[in-house]
């Protein structure tokens, strides 16, 4: 607070006229130093700086930094390993997908080939001659019109054999 009052007295004057002129503050003079004393003080400053620097790098601090560096290196190695595994898995998935497509194509071709060997005329002939199937006549087939709700009324009972 005193410092602010001092600045105010030096640089601020109340009113529109100057009532008193404040004298500038005098700075304390440094004692004259010799070149040897300057060099000695510089050396002392360097020593104290080195001591302070050495104090900051204490053993626990260095140990902490080493643990952090090891953790970062392990994390990086683990990340690279997982990235490589992911790439391998993607390659395996692509290979298996290609195999699946090939097998689906072969399966479709085999099914088409099997369907080609089915002789419908032979099946009808065997059913009629050996199993006694009778082909339905036009008067035996009844067609029903579906209503929009697809509901159907039963007109007759279905005979049971």
Q: For 33-98, what is the HEC assignment?
A: CCHHHHHHHHHHHHHHHHHHHHHHCCHHHHHHHHHHHHHHHHHHHHHHHHHHHHHHHHHHHHHHHH
Residues 5-17: pLDDT tens digits? 655 555 555 556 6
The residue assigned the tokens 């010799």 is: 34
- Mean pLDDT highest for which of 83-87, 125-129, 155-159? 83-87
Residues 55-97: pLDDT tens digits? 567 788 889 999 999 999 999 999 999 999 999 999 999 999 9
Size of the chain, expressed as the number of residues it contains: 161
Contacts of 152 (CB under 8 A, 6+ apart): 144, 146
- 112-135 mean pLDDT: 88
Residues 13-53: pLDDT tens digits? 555 665 555 666 676 666 665 666 777 777 777 766 665 55
pTM for this entry: 0.39
Residues 98-120: pLDDT tens digits? 999 999 999 999 998 888 888 88
pLDDT value at residue 52:
53
- 124-138 mean pLDDT: 88
């Amino acid at each position: 607070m005193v410092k602010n009052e001092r600045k105010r007295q030096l640089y601020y004057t109340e009113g529109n006229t100057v009532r008193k002129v404040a004298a500038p503050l005098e700075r304390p003079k440094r004692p004259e130093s010799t070149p040897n004393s300057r060099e000695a003080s510089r050396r002392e400053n360097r020593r104290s700086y080195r001591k302070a620097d050495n104090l900051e790098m204490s053993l626990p601090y260095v140990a902490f930094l080493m643990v952090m560096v090891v953790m970062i290196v392990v994390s990086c190695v683990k990340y690279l390993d997982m990235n490589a595994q992911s790439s391998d898995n993607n390659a395996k998935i692509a290979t298996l997908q290609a195999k699946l497509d090939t097998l689906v194509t072969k399966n479709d071709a085999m099914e088409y080939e099997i369907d080609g060997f089915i002789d419908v005329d032979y099946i009808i002939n065997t059913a009629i001659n050996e199993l006694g199937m009778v082909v339905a006549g036009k008067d035996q087939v009844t067609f029903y019109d579906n209503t929009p709700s697809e509901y159907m009324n039963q007109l007759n009972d279905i005979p049971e054999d």
